Amino acid sequence: MDLKEAQKKVDKWFEKAGVEKWPKFVIFARLVEEIGEISKCMNVKEGYQRKEVSDLNDEFGDALFTFILLANEYNLDLNEVMEDVLEKYRKYIK
């Protein structure tokens, strides 16, 4: 699945769920929360925390879904965003 398709699927999920979209800053706060959950998983996997809180795969999924949701709110084309950033970083290895 490419990024544009993922963006459409996230939008469709909200349509089907029939829930009101959160304001942009709420989405951003949720993204930060999901990043924190990735951090907790990493602490367990690296042996710095004992209690398993959740699965790293699930938490990356939650964070990615929320990230895409935020990008959609700003009408960003993530394929274009990715191409641009890859071009930017390509310059560092020449």
**Chain residues in the site for Mg ion (CB under 5 A):** 34, 37, 59, 62
Closest distance to Mg ion from the beta carbon of 81 (Å): 23
Cα dihedral 83, 87, 93, 94 sign:
positive
Q: Looking at beta carbons only, is 10 or 62 nearer to Mg ion? A: 62
Closest distance to Mg ion from the beta carbon of 1 (Å): 20
Q: Looking at beta carbons only, is 3 or 35 nearer to Mg ion? A: 35
Closest distance to Mg ion from the beta carbon of 62 (Å): 4
Backbone angles phi, psi at 12, to 5 degrees: -60, -40
Cβ–Cβ < 8 Å for 6, 82: no
Cβ–Cβ < 8 Å for 70, 31: yes
Q: Looking at beta carbons only, is 62 or 68 nearer to Mg ion? A: 62
